[in-house]
Amino acid sequence: MSLYRNAIWFLNGIHHYTRKGYEAAAKDFDKDLDVSVVGRSFMITGANSGIGRATAMAIAKKGGTVHMVCRNKDKAEEARADIVNVSGNTEVYVHIVDMSETRKVWEFAEAFKKQYPSLNVLINNAGCMVHKREVNAERLEKNFATNTMGVYVLTQTLIPLLQKSRDPRVITVSSGGMLVQKLRVNDLQSETGCFDGVMVYAQNKRQQVVLTQQWAKAYPVIHFSVMHPGWVDTPAVSTSMPQFHQMMGDRLRSVEQGADTIVWLALSRAAVSHFPSSWLHSDITILSHNLTQSSQTLPPLSLSKFQCLIYLLHHTLLNH
């Protein structure tokens, strides 16, 4: 991607993705969050930290049943105790899963389907940016395994459960970073050229948007959305992009601001009626801040590329 495009992207980000960008957009937000979600269940990956934790807290406060899918037991239990304590909601459950371990994700999702009669909302939030090329037990590159394959396997496996649940929704936390990458289906494992973790992450986030469009077409009963939380002050940013974190300082959004659109997509009645599914049929839409106020539409990709990605995901899975 050209330097010019990256510069435009960054300038746009300074305007829209920061705390100030959020505050400016928030003036017009129609929250529509005066809802009780007691009895509805929400699965959130990476729910012990950052945006995922703020989302889990907000949903627990509304009375929803929260399934926290986390990698580290101690951190997950600490977060759960805090969420239960602050929200007063005890319907908060921890599941230990490493989203980068493809087979374990599939085993977890299969077991969940057998144990629970319904799942109303799946929030694919866990994500990583690994700067050195590493592989998982199935020899899949770590960023791809976590950000794309883990999301794909979890969602795809849970779709039958979501389909038989009331008002089912799937929300995937992508990133505005995907705007600097076109979909490349010929090197999903980042094996050619020099390995650039930031660009691999951006490519994965692009893949999440493409997958969402594909799912929305295939499963119209489920409301699929994919969004960008803005630039948010979280451990992921401070550890994976320390210079950016330092440079942005208090211009970064709070975790609650970052979670705002996810919570709206998960809870509000308006979220499911705002976008006719035909939007997703013809365009790839990435949503920032709040769907109503500021969505960005990206150029459509050809169907052959979608099919190619799905085919490659299946193919990669079958070979491991």
Binding mask 25-54 for ligand NAD (x = CB under 6 A): ---------------------x-xxxxx--
Query: CB within 8 A of 192, min separation 6: which ones?
Result: none
Identify residues 140-179 at the interface with ligand NAD (CB under 6 A).
146, 173, 175
Query: For 172, phi and psi rounded to 5 degrees?
Result: -115, 130
User: What is d(CA 54, CA 50) in angstroms, rounded to the nearest whole number?
Assistant: 6
| Beta carbons of 40 and 14 less than 8 angstroms apart | no
Only one residue has tokens 């079958």, namely 318
Is residue 130 a contact point for ligand NAD (CB under 6 A)? no
| Beta carbons of 263 and 271 less than 8 angstroms apart | no
Give the SS3 label for residue 54: helix
Query: CB within 8 A of 169, min separation 6: which ones?
Result: 120, 121, 122, 222, 223, 224, 225, 265, 266, 271, 272
Return the range that interacts with ligand NAD (CB under 6 A); candidates 57-65, 122-130, 185-193, 302-310.
122-130
Return the range that interacts with ligand NAD (CB under 6 A); candidates 4-12, 119-127, 186-194, 260-268.
119-127
Catalytically annotated residue among 22, 152, 201, 219:
201
Is residue 197 a contact point for ligand NAD (CB under 6 A)? no
Is residue 21 a contact point for ligand NAD (CB under 6 A)? no
Query: For 16, phi and psi rounded to 5 degrees?
Result: -105, -35
311 counts as catalytic: no
User: What is d(CA 298, CA 290) in angstroms, rounded to the nearest whole number?
Assistant: 17
CB nearer to ligand NAD: give 146 or 148: 146
Binding mask 209-228 for ligand NAD (x = CB under 6 A): -------------------x
CB nearer to ligand NAD: give 6 or 36: 6
Size of the site for ligand NAD (CB under 6 A): 26
Least spacing, CB of residue 200 vs ligand NAD, in Å = 12
Is residue 268 a contact point for ligand NAD (CB under 6 A)? no
User: What is d(CA 89, CA 212) in angstroms, rounded to the nearest whole number?
Assistant: 31
Residues with a known catalytic role? 201
Q: Which residues bind ligand NAD (CB under 6 A)?
A: 46, 48-52, 70-71, 98-100, 125-128, 146, 173, 175, 228-229, 231-232, 234-237
